Structure 1
Amino acid sequence: MKFSFLMSEVLSGLRRNLSLIISVVLVTFVSLLFVGAAALLQMQIGGMKDYWYDKVQVAVFLCPEDSEAPTCTDGEATDEQKAEIEAALHSSDLADYVEEVHFEDRATAYRLFQEQFAGTSLEGTVPEDQMQESYRVGLVDAEQYGIIQEYFSATPGVEEVVDQNRLLDQIFRILNIATAAAVGIAVIMLVCAVVLIATTIRLSAFTRRRETGIMRLVGASNLFIQLPFVLEGVLAAAVGAVLSGGVLGLAVHFGVSGWLQARVPSISLIGVGDVLLVTPLLVLVGVVMAGVSSALTLRRYMKV
């Protein structure tokens, strides 16, 4: 099989069905763009989980003056109550569960609040005297949060025990929903791409039925006859996949690594390197999708 003849047949088919080929490229581009976005979003979620789950703590909030919690009937937590709570956190009963403990007073809580919301509408909205004191507890196993909550559920001076992991779980749940939505749209678009590729290959085979008939009469094999058609779909899908990788790279470079990273410097975000890891997978998905779709279409509809 001469490579030059094969490529001339492929180029001839591309020229004859240029509008349909462009449609295949665009549909493949859009569908794989959603696939790549979903993959990158999952990579970001995984990175954020690894980073934040190692840093989050259980917060044992002490009673403020105006709390209505049953354990705060005496008003603001006293120094004696604070000492008892701290002693309990360092006791042998919790030694197997508590890794570290530090006290966060109002001044520290206010400073951290200002740093976290600097440049936003929330900056300066809460005065220092209204900040709530707490003990920040690092656990040996974050899954053992329930033990700390149960232990201090009826302790005088403790208003509430909050597991920051649960707050993060809500955020990650929303991100996972967004990923699922992207995957759903991608599946719909991939189905459209498969149908369009199959239609394009059928039309291309129909317009060249005379040439394929002659090739069959002179002894050409089915593989030799059908391969140019398959390559047409594969090339179109590959171009769409590369375009989707390029657009994702630009979006991540300028939108994520550039604009967003400057506004959330404390969080490690995905970069162009992650896009370079995803792009070959997109090309592989596009090529396999087009190749299988084209081969099945020719096997069913092309009688030579």
Structure 2
Amino acid sequence: MRAQFILSEIGIGLRRNLSMTVSVILVTFISLTFVGAAGLLQLQVSKLKDDWYGKVEVSAFLCPTGSAKAQCAAGEASEEQIADIEALLDSPELAPQIEQVYFETKAEAYASFQEYFAGMEWAEMIREEDLQASFRIKLVDAENYQVVSDVLSGRPGIESVEDQRKIFDTLFLVLNRASVMTVGLAALMLLAAVLLITTTIRLSALSRRRETGIMRLVGASNLFIQLPFMLEGAIAATIGALASVAGLWLGVRYLITDWLAQEVVWVPLVQESDVLALAPLLLGVAVLLAAISSLVTLNRYMKV
């Protein structure tokens, strides 16, 4: 009987403040979509770091013909200079830092270049002579790049030493800043959701002052009187959270899994399972918003 009464009161409240309830659902949906997008973006950054940082290499590019660098004054790197570099990489100073060394000739660099950029007209204009031979060095710890760079830089036959992490770090910096911006927008939308839930509960309480007054007179407990109002906010917020989860799942399914993953096959991307893993967090945030809003509103506007 009590459960039936509470459910009927919830239904009355939702119908009386239908427009506000819909607004709460929409604002909660948008704000939690931002929260979920920020979470997925961080998961994506983590996936890329785990995959790419395990593959990054230090590239020691050998002197080509016509280089302006002082160490390349003698022209293209000679066989003797290449042998000296190999000996240096095997030295006690560098060997403990290095996991694997691969020497890529001009012909191999050209073949890789043509394979990677196959079908692009501008790539057909590149000749084998335009590329450089290089040592591809995989480190035991990618953080020790500077040690290897300091030893190799300026050596005769080596034009430059490049750390592939620099390329990735720029990308990760952009993604992390985008994530921070998304979290900021989500925080503003969550604040708007709290204010809307608060207003909705207050209007619902004010519109039913007569009913709550009668309930006080017959000795109803505070929890029994307040529970319908609390559940109204919780239901609206939960619907918004579920809509957010559904929107994120559809977005990942059709934009990433069915489209982007087919075009960018070499990058690990977030999946629908990642959205489902975030779902409990989004639902928890929705319930927390409703709980905070309900407690603040009922304590202030509904003295029972």
Instruction: Give the structure 2 partner of residue 6 of structure 1.
Output: 6
Q: Distance in 1 between matches of 2:123 and 2:217?
A: 81
Q: Distance in 2 between matches of 1:120 and 1:232?
A: 58
Q: 1:118 to 1:14 in 2, by over 3 A?
A: farther
Cα deviation, residue 121, structure 1: 6.6
Alpha carbons 1:24, 1:196 under 8 Å: kept: yes
Q: Residues 200-237 of structure 1, C-alpha deviation per residue, up to 9 Å, x if partnerless?
A: 11111010111011111110111111110010000000
Instruction: Give the structure 2 partner of residue 239 of structure 1.
Output: 239
Unpaired stretches in structure 1, ≥5 consecutive residues: none
| Equivalence map 1:129-278=2 (5 Å) | 129-278=129-278
Cα deviation, residue 122, structure 1: 5.4
Q: Distance in 1 between matches of 2:233 and 2:125?
A: 59
Cα deviation, residue 190, structure 1: 0.4
Which deviates the most, 116-125 or 42-51?
A: 116-125
Q: Percentage identity across aligned positions?
A: 53
3-state SS in 2 of match to 1:101: strand
Q: Distance in 1 between matches of 2:152 and 2:51?
A: 28
Unpaired stretches in structure 2, ≥5 consecutive residues: none
Instruction: Give the structure 1 partner of residue 291 of structure 2.
Output: 291
Q: Distance in 2 between matches of 1:210 and 1:88?
A: 89
Alpha carbons 1:27, 1:192 under 8 Å: kept: yes
Q: 1:241 to 1:266 in 2, by over 3 A?
A: same
Counterpart check, 1:16 vs 2:11: no
Q: Distance in 1 between matches of 2:195 and 2:32?
A: 15
3-state SS in 2 of match to 1:124: helix
Instruction: Give the structure 2 partner of residue 89 of structure 1.
Output: 89
> Structure 1 length as normaliser, TM-score?
0.97
Cα deviation, residue 113, structure 1: 2.3
> Structure 2 length as normaliser, TM-score?
0.97
The number of residue pairs the alignment matches comes to 304
Q: Distance in 2 between matches of 1:91 and 1:62?
A: 19
Q: Distance in 2 between matches of 1:221 and 1:118?
A: 75
Cα deviation, residue 116, structure 1: 3.0
Which letter maps to 1:228?
P
Q: 1:253 to 1:185 in 2, by over 3 A?
A: same
Q: Distance in 2 between matches of 1:190 and 1:122?
A: 49
Structure 1 runs (4+) greater than 4 angstroms displaced: 119-122
Alpha carbons 1:231, 1:291 under 8 Å: kept: no
Which deviates the most, 174-183 or 69-78?
A: 69-78
